[in-house]
A and B are shown apart, each in its own frame.
Chain A
């Protein structure tokens, strides 16, 4: 791309703003040209099936493998939380949205586990620093980004929601350590029937994420 007189040599389209403005000067003729475009798109989408739109939310565009959506707390093989409550994520979090309370684990080899792990999703800026900081690959992100709720309280995700909300893995994991996860996995309700957080395995309609969705609003 070498600069030549009056612009740049070929490979980049050079737009002369004033020139284009002069060409696109609105006339009656340009109005009909625009109708022509609309008509052409009508026929191509009707008969060729070339639609630029998709049936969202039934269909979605593919998200990146490294999409930074709602967090997931991963589990060990026995279904217990991988997190050891080291507070690295809470320390690095620039939005200060992670709140952890640690407890004594019955197994002295593990020593520490979170009795409370809350993320304030309204405060979170989805930077993914928590994933980078985690020494245990215990927190990863998903490709999910729908967090519509009726009640502000529900934007604070506790352990249960972060670990095993319905459809947690439907869109696949998002931003996570750039290597295969060694010991951690995402909690799976089908195979895992025992869980230290009892409410996780309670039966619920898969479409109903939160109680507020079926609560009548008055």
Chain B
């Protein structure tokens, strides 16, 4: 463990790290464009220059390995001057595009100009080099060559992370520019990440482009619900009522505009797959269910719950406890699954298809997994995969009248399509039941046949925990409000439990405390311990 001094403070750091990594760990700020922790080192932007004692020249902090007794200074006049000149060179041919540039507001050029440069341009505006503007690199990414500062982050991403090598630097010297070969568009499954890592407005997302200015957005840390990997992401959603009373703009419900990868070294580094990145659009694929319906009439959810409880109780009385059961899906949070299990006294299953076989299998060698449900492992850990044998088992039991009343909670897959045979089985299951309650997020045709149809909050509208394929517990947060009367499943279940005489808090944190007391696996963790990056509970001995 070499000791080194940064700005007068002495630290001990792991051997093999570079200066900028140590500085990041310690919270010493060094400006950078080309350095990104997950894509390899280039040292081309010259923004991270620091003064190292004994070295005649300034050293790039991102490419200088630490050594015993190193003395580093990051804020001397020499360093500040070098950074100022580096900024002036980077901005020399940069267009004055900020008002129409999509990166504006989260642009590193803007930030570092205000923090480290602040110069007046010495280059006449009319003589700036013009390059190609706004053209497609692939289905999700647009490139503006004028705005590029040639940090080559995107080049290194396609070289070192996806290993597809679509983006390259062409030409030399002042003529060098980022581009793709004509016959090889940037269409790999992770292409959206180059937009996230581009520090300037050169690479913009065709999906998000021009939809909103970033300073209107509020970021909520959450977890992707697209597959069992559970990549960490940030949901950017509307925070302020732009346009006030203008019709068509809903200020209260909120709207998700994009999702951005959130760095978590243990799960997804900084990356998201394109399917997961765009998975929030799935919430708009069908019309949302806004009100509860029974017998063709709309009713308030809170009025319906007592009658649902009475129906279940009467079926239980007439045909025994085993005549009532619940079918949920692995898209629900642990809290919702646990409360459902409590209300239906263990007669719950979550298997719609082949989740349990697939949840650990990789779809590719980076992130994606074949099971498109975020919480299969969590449902298994809560003991929901019992003898009921999933949807097909319930269907068989309903047809033999072994089960007469059921709660079916369905959340469509955010990535990909739900298998049509699952929907067909659900339709048959509803038809075979005497009394069926379907809680779902969208207004599906097959669900209309149910005795009671309840609107439910979807991903990004409820707080809770998911357990990913590796058993890592992660928090998904509420970013926007559910539409209309919709409520998260754990709140519906808490209300039903209250009717059957058990007082349960609506707060997912408190529900998790209950899980912790009852499920030995989770005994060591709570929401605070899970935090923003998740936690893997120790396996019980």
A interface residues, Cβ below 8 angstroms from B: 84-88, 90-91, 95-100, 102-104, 108-112, 118, 120, 122-123, 135-136, 156
B 93-136 to A, binary, CB cutoff 8 A, 1 in contact else 0: 00001011000000000000000000000000000000001110
B interface residues, Cβ below 8 angstroms from A: 97, 99-100, 133-135, 209-211, 213, 215-216, 240-247, 249
A97 touches B243 (CB 8 A): yes
B133 touches A90 (CB 8 A): no
- B177 to A: closest C-beta gap in Å: 15
> A212 CA to B215 CA in the complex, in Å?
38
A108 touches B210 (CB 8 A): no
Q: Given A86-B99, A87-B213, A112-B100, is A96 in contact with B241 using a C-beta cutoff of 8 Å?
A: yes
Task: Name B210's contact: one of A90, A97, A99, A103 (CB within 8 Å).
Answer: A103
B243 touches A88 (CB 8 A): no
Q: Given A86-B100, A88-B99, A91-B213, is A99 in contact with B243 using a C-beta cutoff of 8 Å?
A: yes
- B142 to A: closest C-beta gap in Å: 9
Nearest CB in chain A to that of B132: its residue = A108
When distances are taken between beta carbons in the complex, the residues of chain B under 8 Å from A111 are: 97, 100, 133-134
B100 touches A99 (CB 8 A): no
Nearest CB in chain A to that of B212: its residue = A87
Among A86, A88, A103, the one with the most B-chain Cβ atoms within 10 Å of its Cβ is A86
When distances are taken between beta carbons in the complex, the residues of chain B under 8 Å from A95 are: 244
> A159 CA to B289 CA in the complex, in Å?
34
B243 touches A96 (CB 8 A): yes
Q: Given A111-B133, A111-B134, is A90 in contact with B243 using a C-beta cutoff of 8 Å?
A: yes
Nearest CB in chain B to that of A87: its residue = B213
When distances are taken between beta carbons in the complex, the residues of chain A under 8 Å from B249 are: 99
A90 touches B244 (CB 8 A): no
- B86 to A: closest C-beta gap in Å: 27
> A112 CA to B133 CA in the complex, in Å?
12
> A135 CA to B98 CA in the complex, in Å?
10
A96 touches B242 (CB 8 A): yes
When distances are taken between beta carbons in the complex, the residues of chain A under 8 Å from B210 are: 85, 102-104, 112
B246 touches A120 (CB 8 A): yes
For this complex, 14 residue pairs linking A to B, each with C-beta atoms less than 8 Å apart, are: A87-B213, A88-B99, A96-B243, A98-B243, A99-B243, A99-B246, A99-B249, A108-B135, A110-B100, A111-B97, A111-B133, A120-B243, A135-B99, A136-B99
A156 touches B246 (CB 8 A): yes
B133 touches A96 (CB 8 A): no
Question: 10 additional contacts, CB 8 Å, given A85-B210, A86-B213?
Answer: A87-B213, A88-B99, A97-B243, A103-B210, A104-B209, A104-B210, A108-B135, A112-B100, A123-B244, A135-B99
> A97 CA to B249 CA in the complex, in Å?
12
Nearest CB in chain A to that of B100: its residue = A112
When distances are taken between beta carbons in the complex, the residues of chain B under 8 Å from A96 are: 240-244
B245 touches A120 (CB 8 A): yes
- B129 to A: closest C-beta gap in Å: 15
A108 touches B244 (CB 8 A): no
> A86 CA to B212 CA in the complex, in Å?
10
- A114 to B: closest C-beta gap in Å: 10
A90 touches B246 (CB 8 A): no
> A100 CA to B246 CA in the complex, in Å?
10
When distances are taken between beta carbons in the complex, the residues of chain A under 8 Å from B211 are: 102
> A64 CA to B507 CA in the complex, in Å?
59
> A120 CA to B245 CA in the complex, in Å?
7
Q: Given A96-B241, A104-B209, is A84 in contact with B100 using a C-beta cutoff of 8 Å?
A: yes
When distances are taken between beta carbons in the complex, the residues of chain A under 8 Å from B244 are: 95-97, 99, 120, 123
When distances are taken between beta carbons in the complex, the residues of chain A under 8 Å from B99 are: 84, 86, 88, 135-136
Nearest CB in chain A to that of B246: its residue = A99
